């Protein structure tokens, strides 16, 4: 599941960063962070059995926010015995290694263990980075004794302890395998089930999940299969309803569940309306995530859910689909429950965001909006080359004259050159387009609703050659000899974990 699936503005609006005039100031100031190049990257990874590498762009606001935290983590990790070094790569100058690793957005953090890369799953704070690295230095499962038990179970926000004996070796093996996979997310421990642990009664085998929220403890004591243990952890390790912000947003994204956003305008609204929503959140644990959203900080996300910036407000989002709760009526438990059920069983259609359909099309490039997408783009009689763009996107701006020239050059009425603002219009989910950045260029062939994604350079010659080779009516594309330079920067302005719009005077995730 791609990160773009939970696009947040405010959470997101606050992102898809503008790169029209990138500032080339240092994102990582002089520090203990090792600066890598495409030439030194692989050797550094080979020399360090455990390390973390940040792939960034100097103009990225989230990278700038991370910089002091990353530098602080580097300083602390350097003091470990043995010391751990972490590094950074500027993808605007070191595109060779960033292309090789398929870096899709900024910042991207990758944890390397014995040369094997894995996405960093922690929070973007010095504390979380250091904690994650320290966890990697420990066994996936720590031995927990009666003496260490009390301190161990309160050492982190979520701690998972398995109680086993000689008869439950199979269950312990499964538990250890799961811990190896989820060690970045949680602290795991194993205890001798035949012993007594102060303040905790247990059966053997069983798994206890200790947490600093909700009821404080969840226990799984029957049928400890791999599937059941994973499901138990997924359902009980997150708060029933939590405040979402920069420190935990990524966890909700990676759960892969629809998210119910409750926007509140005051502490009173949070308390009163929250009491209405929380019973529903309990019913759908493990199926839908429910979160609180402070409208003063992240109210700009409301339009992404087709909601007005009027509080309180509530809506669901699942990838590119959204379901706003009627704002003309009070938020009630019954209304939230009915909408949640409709989201899960598909009985309630999602809302499509769209600008007004243009009354006329006077330019060679046809303008598409959400409500006209099917009519124009999925016209089975025509080949349609569609550019999905963002008004602030630097690469999109560079493409404008080329795109206009392409549209003027191709005179066939069987080939359409079109564009759609991807920030103000939704792509119908039925197309299965996975928008990862701007510009994205797609070819919808005549006679089919399937599409091809253009991957070449953005020169006039290359675009026309692509059409000539792949369009059903490609024979009607004229030969174009273009000697213009190719854009060496083939990276999209990617949607990273929360990137969506230019910077605004609100907090970011």
User: Do 58 and 38 belong together in one domain?
Assistant: yes
User: Do 123 and 157 belong together in one domain?
Assistant: no
Q: What is the distance between the alpha carbons of residues 284 and 278, in angstroms, rounded to a whole number?
A: 10
| 244 found inside a domain | no
Domain that holds residue 458: 366-478
> pLDDT class for 388, splitting at 50, 70, 90?
very high
User: Do 382 and 440 belong together in one domain?
Assistant: yes
Q: What is the pLDDT of residue 20?
A: 33
User: Do 116 and 155 belong together in one domain?
Assistant: no
| 230 found inside a domain | yes
- Of the listed ranges 54-63, 225-234, 309-318, 430-439, the least confidently predicted one is 430-439
Mean pLDDT of 67-89: 96
Of the residues 113, 136, 159, the one at which a domain ends: 136
Mean pLDDT of 245-267: 87
Q: Does 18 score more than 70 pLDDT?
A: no
> pLDDT class for 482, splitting at 50, 70, 90?
low
Is residue 271 a contact partner of residue 264, using CB atoms and an 8 Å limit? no
User: Do 83 and 161 belong together in one domain?
Assistant: no
| 497 found inside a domain | no
Compute CA distances 108 → 19, 53, 339, 436, whole Å.
17, 8, 35, 14
Of the residues 315, 345, 375, the one at which a domain ends: 345
DSSP secondary structure letters along 4-59: GGG--SSSSTT-S---SS-----SS-SSSPEEE-TTTHHHHHHH-SEEEEEEE-TT
Q: Catalytic residue among 60, 87, 160, 435, which? A: 60
3 state DSSP class of 203? coil
User: Do 111 and 172 belong together in one domain?
Assistant: no
Q: What is the pLDDT of residue 16?
A: 33
The string of pLDDT tens digits covering residues 128-161 is 999 899 988 989 999 999 999 999 999 999 999 9
Q: Does 193 score more than 60 pLDDT?
A: yes
Q: Which CATH number fits the domain that encloses residue 110?
A: 3.40.30.10
User: Do 125 and 148 belong together in one domain?
Assistant: no
Is residue 501 a contact partner of residue 13, using CB atoms and an 8 Å limit? yes
- Of the listed ranges 3-12, 56-65, 89-98, 196-205, the least confidently predicted one is 3-12
Give the mean pLDDT of the chain.
87
Q: Which of 302, 303, 288 is nearest to 336 (CA)?
A: 288
Q: What is the pLDDT of residue 245?
A: 82
| 500 found inside a domain | no
Task: Give yes or no: 98 in active site.
Answer: no
| 333 found inside a domain | yes
Q: What is the pLDDT of residue 401?
A: 96
Percent of the chain, pLDDT > 90? Answer: 70
pTM higher than 0.75, yes or no? no
To which H or E segment does residue 392 belong? none
To which H or E segment does residue 133 belong? helix 126-137
Q: What is the pLDDT of residue 446?
A: 95
Task: Give yes or no: 60 in active site.
Answer: yes
Q: Catalytic residue among 11, 36, 63, 293, which? A: 63
Q: What is the distance between the alpha carbons of residues 365 and 404, in angstroms, rounded to a whole number?
A: 6
Question: What is the token pair recorded at 124?
Answer: 């973007």
Q: What is the pLDDT of residue 480?
A: 78
User: Do 211 and 228 belong together in one domain?
Assistant: yes
Is residue 402 a contact partner of residue 385, using CB atoms and an 8 Å limit? no
- Of the listed ranges 91-100, 324-333, 489-498, the least confidently predicted one is 489-498
> pLDDT class for 28, splitting at 50, 70, 90?
very low
Mean pLDDT of 81-93: 95
Q: What is the distance between the alpha carbons of residues 300 and 241, in angstroms, rounded to a whole number?
A: 21
Q: What is the pLDDT of residue 141?
A: 97
| 447 found inside a domain | yes
Of the residues 70, 101, 136, the one at which a domain ends: 136
Q: What is the pLDDT of residue 481?
A: 66
Q: What is the distance between the alpha carbons of residues 10 and 506, in angstroms, rounded to a whole number?
A: 7
Mean pLDDT of 376-405: 94
Q: What is the maximal distance between C-alpha atoms in the chain?
A: 82
Q: What is the distance between the alpha carbons of residues 29 and 43, in angstroms, rounded to a whole number?
A: 23
Mean pLDDT of 428-450: 88
Say how many domains are in the chain: 4
DSSP 304: G
Task: Sort strands 217-220 and 206-211 into parallel, antiparallel or unpaired.
Answer: antiparallel
Q: What is the distance between the alpha carbons of residues 321 and 313, in angstroms, rounded to a whole number?
A: 17
| 282 found inside a domain | yes
**Beta strands across the sheet bearing 242-243:** 242-243, 289-294, 259-264, 313-318, 321-324
To which H or E segment does residue 141 belong? strand 141-144
Q: What is the pLDDT of residue 248?
A: 80
User: Do 30 and 93 belong together in one domain?
Assistant: yes
User: Do 440 and 472 belong together in one domain?
Assistant: yes
Mean pLDDT of 85-114: 91
User: Do 112 and 144 belong together in one domain?
Assistant: no
Please measure the distance between the N-terminal and C-terminal CA atoms of the chain and give it in whole angstroms: 19
User: Do 23 and 126 belong together in one domain?
Assistant: yes
Q: What is the pLDDT of residue 30?
A: 57
| 487 found inside a domain | no
Q: Does 31 score more than 90 pLDDT?
A: no
> pLDDT class for 502, splitting at 50, 70, 90?
very low
The string of pLDDT tens digits covering residues 343-359 is 999 999 999 889 999 99
- Exposure string for 397-423, b = 16+ CB within 10 A, e = fewer: eebeebbebbbeebeeebbbbbbbbbb
Output Rg (C-alpha) for the chain, integer angstroms. Answer: 26
Q: Catalytic residue among 368, 393, 418, 442, which? A: 393
Q: Does 26 score more than 80 pLDDT?
A: no
């Amino acid at each position: 599941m791609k990160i773009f699936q939970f696009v947040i503005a405010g959470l997101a609006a606050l992102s898809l960063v503008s790169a029209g005039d990138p500032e080339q100031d240092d994102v990582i100031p002089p520090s203990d962070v090792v600066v890598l190049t495409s030439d030194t990257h692989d050797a550094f990874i080979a020399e360090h059995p455990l390390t973390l590498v940040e792939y960034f762009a100097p103009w990225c606001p989230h990278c700038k926010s991370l910089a002091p935290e990353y530098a602080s983590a580097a300083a602390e990790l350097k003091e470990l015995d043995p010391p751990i070094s972490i590094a950074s790569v500027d993808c605007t100058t070191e595109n060779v290694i960033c292309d090789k690793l398929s870096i899709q957005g900024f910042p991207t953090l990758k944890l390397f263990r014995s040369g094997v890369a894995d996405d960093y799953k922690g929070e973007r704070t010095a504390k979380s980075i250091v904690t994650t690295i320290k966890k990697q230095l420990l066994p996936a499962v720590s031995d927990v004794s009666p003496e260490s038990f009390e301190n161990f179970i309160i050492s982190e926000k979520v701690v998972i302890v398995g109680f086993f004996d000689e008869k439950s070796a199979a269950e312990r093996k499964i538990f250890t395998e799961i811990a190896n996979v989820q060690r970045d997310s949680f602290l795991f421990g194993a205890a001798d089930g035949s012993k007594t642990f102060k303040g905790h009664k247990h059966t053997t085998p069983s798994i206890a999940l200790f947490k600093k929220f909700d009821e404080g403890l969840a226990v799984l004591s029957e049928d400890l299969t791999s599937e059941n243990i994973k499901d138990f952890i997924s359902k009980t390790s997150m708060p029933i309803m939590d405040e979402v912000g920069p420190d935990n947003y990524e966890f909700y994204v990676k759960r892969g569940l629809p998210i119910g956003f409750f926007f509140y305008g005051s502490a009173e609204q949070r308390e009163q309306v929250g009491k209405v929503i929380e019973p529903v959140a309990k019913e759908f644990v493990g199926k839908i995530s429910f979160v609180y959203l402070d409208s003063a900080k992240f109210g700009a996300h409301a339009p992404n859910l087709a909601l007005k910036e009027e509080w309180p407000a509530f809506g669901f989002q699942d990838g590119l689909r959204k379901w706003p709760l009627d704002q003309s009526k009070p938020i009630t438990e019954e209304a939230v429950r009915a909408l949640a059920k409709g989201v899960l069983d598909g009985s309630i259609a999602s809302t499509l965001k769209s600008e007004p359909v243009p009354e006329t099309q006077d330019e060679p490039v046809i303008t598409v909006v959400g409500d006209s997408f099917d009519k124009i783009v999925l016209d089975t009689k025509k080949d349609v080359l569609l550019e999905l763009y963002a008004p602030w996107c630097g690469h999109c701006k560079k493409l404008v004259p080329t795109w206009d020239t392409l549209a003027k050059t191709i005179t066939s009425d069987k080939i359409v050159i079109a564009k759609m603002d991807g920030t103000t219009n939704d792509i119908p989910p039925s197309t299965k387009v996975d928008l990862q950045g701007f510009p994205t260029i797609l070819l919808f062939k005549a006679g089919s609703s399937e599409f091809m994604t253009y991957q070449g350079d953005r020169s006039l010659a290359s675009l026309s050659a692509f059409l000539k080779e792949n369009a059903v009516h490609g024979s009607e594309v004229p030969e174009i000899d273009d000697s213009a330079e190719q854009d060496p920067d083939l990276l999209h302005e990617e949607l990273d974990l929360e990137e969506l719009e230019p910077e605004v005077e609100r907090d970011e995730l």
